[in-house]
């Protein structure tokens, strides 16, 4: 996945707050990417004005030939990211579901595996109820969510690459 695009979609969905963008800029410089705005951004302090940081970030993304994705595209990337984390075992079903529930606007699912993943996450109130009253049903939910995550994570590289291309073509 394109590193600039990865930072951009994470910024759009709130995984990267503006005060962390200077460090992300420094990481991009460290892997060999370079632009005037990226260098300026990397030199900013976390305490700099948020508007200035965000402006430099937007400028750097453009200078690097990338685009900041729209919210729908970024949310689809988040779905793929969460599925990958669950499939890899770095997040639990509860942690992944909590992140999905936190972003109530995660309605961007367009592919079958994306929709299946969201359906498997389900509604928070239902999962809270079954976790206490029906532990077997809760275990079945976890299993179904892991399975949906594995299916979605198998499509991730190609799909996120296509989202990156779509983002570039709609911004230019």
* Contact (Cβ atoms closer than 8 angstroms) between residue 84 and residue 156: yes
Confidence of residue 63 (pLDDT cuts 50, 70, 90): very high
Q: Which is nearest to 84 in space by CA: 137, 160, 3?
A: 160
Query: Which residue in 2, 125, 8 sits closest to 73, CA to CA?
Result: 8
Is residue 172 predicted with pLDDT exceeding 60? no
Model confidence pLDDT, tens digit, residues 72-121: 889 888 899 999 999 999 999 989 988 888 765 556 678 889 989 988 98
Contacts of 79 (CB under 8 A, 6+ apart): 100, 106, 108, 109, 114, 117, 118, 152
d(CA 4, CA 11): 11
pLDDT at 102: 79
Q: Is residue 128 scored above 90 in pLDDT?
A: no
Sequence-distant (≥ 6) Cβ neighbours of residue 119 within 8 angstroms: 148
Residue 125: the pLDDT is 66
CA distance linking residue 161 with residue 92, whole number of Å:
26
16: left (phi over 0), alpha (psi -120 to 50) or beta: beta
Quick check: 1 pLDDT over 50? no
pLDDT 10s digits, 134-170: 889 889 999 999 999 999 988 866 666 666 676 666 6
C-alpha pair distances (Å), 59 with each of 6, 86, 148, 160: 16, 33, 37, 22
| One-character DSSP codes across 23-38 | HHHHHHHHTT---HHH
Q: Is 156 helix (H, G, I), strand (E, B) or coil?
A: helix
pLDDT tens digit string along 23-35? 999 999 999 999 9
């Amino acid at each position: 996945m394109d590193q600039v695009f990865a930072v951009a979609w994470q910024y759009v969905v709130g995984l990267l707050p503006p005060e962390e963008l200077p460090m992300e800029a420094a990481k991009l410089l460290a892997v060999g990417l370079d632009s005037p705005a990226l260098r300026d951004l990397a030199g900013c302090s976390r305490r700099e004005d948020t508007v200035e940081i965000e402006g430099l970030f937007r400028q750097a993304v453009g200078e690097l030939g990338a685009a900041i994705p729209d919210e729908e595209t970024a949310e689809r990337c988040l779905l793929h990211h969460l599925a990958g984390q669950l499939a890899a075992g770095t997040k639990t079903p509860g942690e992944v579901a909590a992140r999905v529930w936190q972003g109530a606007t995660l309605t961007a699912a367009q592919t079958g595996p994306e929709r299946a993943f969201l359906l498997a996450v389900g509604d928070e109130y239902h999962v809270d109820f079954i976790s206490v009253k029906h532990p077997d049903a809760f275990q079945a939910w976890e299993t179904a969510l892991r399975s949906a995550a594995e299916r979605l994570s198998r499509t991730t590289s190609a799909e996120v690459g296509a989202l990156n291309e779509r983002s570039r073509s709609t911004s230019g």
